[in-house]
Amino acid sequence: MHDAAVVVPSADAASTRTGGDRTRAATRPGTTAGPAAAAAAAAGAASTDAGSEGATILSPTTLSLSERRISVIGANGSGKSTLARLLNGLVEPTAGSVRVRADAEAPWLDTVHDGPAVRRLVGFVFTDPGAQLVMPTAAEDVALSLRRTVKGKRERRAAAVETLDRFGLSHLADRSVHTLSGGQRQLLAIASVLATDPAILVADEPTTLLDLRNSRMIGDLLMGLPQQLVVVTHDLGLAARADRTLVVDDARVVFDGDPRDAVDFYTEMSARP
Ligand SMILES: Nc1ncnc2c1ncn2[C@@H]1O[C@H](COP(=O)(O)OP(=O)(O)OP(=O)(O)O)[C@@H](O)[C@H]1O
């Protein structure tokens, strides 16, 4: 059973930092999680210059994300990545809160106060696998993910190869990650994140750099995961395969509902002059 959650009450703004930039995010009183499921989201606003008021990255938003597969679509710069990053604490809300939990019985974790536990619960896949593959070989990269859960070098190596095998990558265990194709690298990045069995997987445009065949392969893999998935994508076909879709525009969630209706809404919206 998936579960997770979301939420947000509190109104006091608190500034936060992202990648060295001053970022502000705000959430507003809202809802709680659904009956079961896994992730959650909140909102934000942002500014680049410390000391200035800054521009809104994501307006106060209240969401409860309990469906197994949730897609997020919208124009460049609309705030999708910020929404995704709020879910595992890569971006901290400046007001309100973002909470997640592993299942309906599990305790809520706050992305600001329970950072390490949240990051264990919520795996994050970036657009560019190069951003997360840090070890020389495929097996070493997966083993790095397992460093906290599997003690002993030999055991870790065996667990890493087993993980690679699950993703059809065991034949590449000792290959340099730099010699892998784009599709293999993205698959490896996902395998490394899933090695620790997070309850929730957030993927930010995981197919953007891939050709059609690899996009389909990664899309199929993501949509078939037992974990709760929150995927940001410009691939409307992939988005439509979710159970629920959010359309983000100009720092706001402007549509939230059936994926095909969301794609129609976004397509019409984008056609407007
Ligand atoms: N830390 C930050 N400081 C200042 N501005 C930021 C920060 N992070 C994001 N922004 C700005 O906020 C807006 C939304 O960014 P975000 O990355 O969430 O958009 P996006 O919808 O994911 O875009 P894309 O589809 O192009 O990846 C953009 O204008 C971006 O430049």
Q: Where are the domains of the chain?
A: 16-136+176-271
Residue 157 Cα to ligand 1 middle (Å) = 38
Which of 66-70, 80-84, 213-217 shows the lowest mean pLDDT across its residues? 213-217
* Interatomic CA distance for residues 180 and 48, integer angstroms: 36
Residue 238 Cα to ligand 1 middle (Å) = 22
Which residue, by CA, sits nearest to atom 30 of ligand 1?
77
Q: Mean per-residue pLDDT for 177-202?
A: 93
pTM of the model: 0.84
Q: What pLDDT score does 54 carry?
A: 62
In eight-state DSSP terms, residue 176 is B
Residue 77 Cα to ligand 1 middle (Å) = 5
Q: Which atom of ligand 1 approaches the CA of 19 most closely?
A: 1
Sign of dihedral through CA atoms 50, 53, 59, 60?
positive
Name the residue among 192, 250, 224, 271 with its Cα closest to residue 61. 250
Going by pLDDT thresholds of 50, 70 and 90, the confidence category of residue 34 is very low
Q: What pLDDT score does 22 carry?
A: 31
Q: How far is CA 16 from CA 47, 49, 81, 86, 237, in A?
A: 10, 12, 16, 11, 35
Q: Does position 38 have pLDDT exceeding 90, yes or no? A: no
Contacts of 55 (CB under 8 A, 6+ apart): 45, 46, 47
Pocket of ligand 1 (CB under 6 A): 18-19, 21, 23, 46, 48, 57, 74, 76-82
Tokens of 5: 């959650």
Instruction: Compute how many other C-beta atoms are within 10 angstroms of the C-beta atom of residue 243.
Output: 16
211-256 pLDDT, tens per residue? 998 899 999 999 999 999 999 999 999 999 999 999 999 999 999 9
Going by pLDDT thresholds of 50, 70 and 90, the confidence category of residue 53 is low
| Residue from 47, 82, 86, 250 whose mutation best tests the ligand 1 pocket (most atoms within 8 A of CB) | 82
Question: Does domain 16-136+176-271 sit in CATH 3.40.50.1360?
Answer: no
| Residue from 57, 207, 249, 254 whose mutation best tests the ligand 1 pocket (most atoms within 8 A of CB) | 57
Which residue, by CA, sits nearest to atom 16 of ligand 1?
79
Asked if 98 and 7 touch (Cβ cutoff 8 Å), the reply is: yes
Which of 16-30, 64-78, 113-127 shows the lowest mean pLDDT across its residues? 16-30
Q: Which atom of ligand 1 approaches the CA of 54 most closely?
A: 4
Q: Which atom of ligand 1 approaches the CA of 248 most closely?
A: 21
Q: Which atom of ligand 1 approaches the CA of 251 most closely?
A: 14
